[in-house]
Amino acid sequence: METKIEEGEEPKKGNKKRSLIFLIAALCVLAAGGGAWKHFYHSVSSAKTKTLVDEQKKVIVIPAVMSNLDSSDGYTHYVRVSARLLVPERINTADVEAYMPQIQDLFQMYLHSTRLQELSGEGIYRLRESMLQQIQNTLAPIPVEDLFFVEVIVQ
């Protein structure tokens, strides 16, 4: 049995060769794209890791502050706040602790002028934001990154 190739048809061998060339080209494009993605993704993630390693943080304890709240109902209400400051590792702890009386005074003044109702709900968040801003202003050359409340007790 012979197979005849008619005039309009191409042999099957050429189609296999062309398919193989397209397959190899597609694999090369995918490999190049994967390599480029790995290169850029890896460099971004290593840069993030490097900045995290370079920017170590230090936590400084603010002694507990106890204050009475502004009372309009005739009863005396007290609040006790313990907090921590987050500063860069390069900052000397003694430099921040030298300002500790001013920081405690900031808490006393703010809490003494605060009503009991102002500490409920979002009031703690407002207290944190206000105190962080005031502490940053007081310690102006020293960068303070965050303020954490350890305990807030209202009686």
**Which position has the higher pLDDT, 26 or 132?**
132
Residues 91 and 67 both lie in one domain: yes
Same domain for 87 and 14, yes or no, is: no
Could you tell me the residue range of the domain that residue 39 belongs to? Answer: 10-54
pTM: 0.62
pLDDT of 22-50, one tens digit each?
888 888 888 888 777 777 776 665 556 55
Q: How far apart are CA 147 and CA 85, in angstroms?
A: 5
Interval 75-84: pLDDT, tens: 888 999 999 9
Instruction: Annotate 97-112 with b (16+ C-beta within 10 A) or e (fewer).
Output: eeeeeebbebbeebbe
3 in a structural domain: no
Q: How far is CA 122 from CA 14, 84, 129, in A?
A: 74, 20, 11
Average pLDDT along the chain? 82
| 22 and 63 share one domain | no
- Do 49 and 63 belong together in one domain? no
Claim to verify: residue 125 and residue 111 sit in the same structural domain:
yes
Residue-by-residue DSSP string for 37-93: HHHHHHHHHHHHHHHHHHS-EEEEEEEEEEEEPB-SSS---EEEEEEEEEEETTS-H
In a domain, 2, yes or no: no
Q: Which two tokens stand for residue 109?
A: 């003044």
Across 4-8, 23-27, 140-144, the highest mean pLDDT is recorded for 140-144
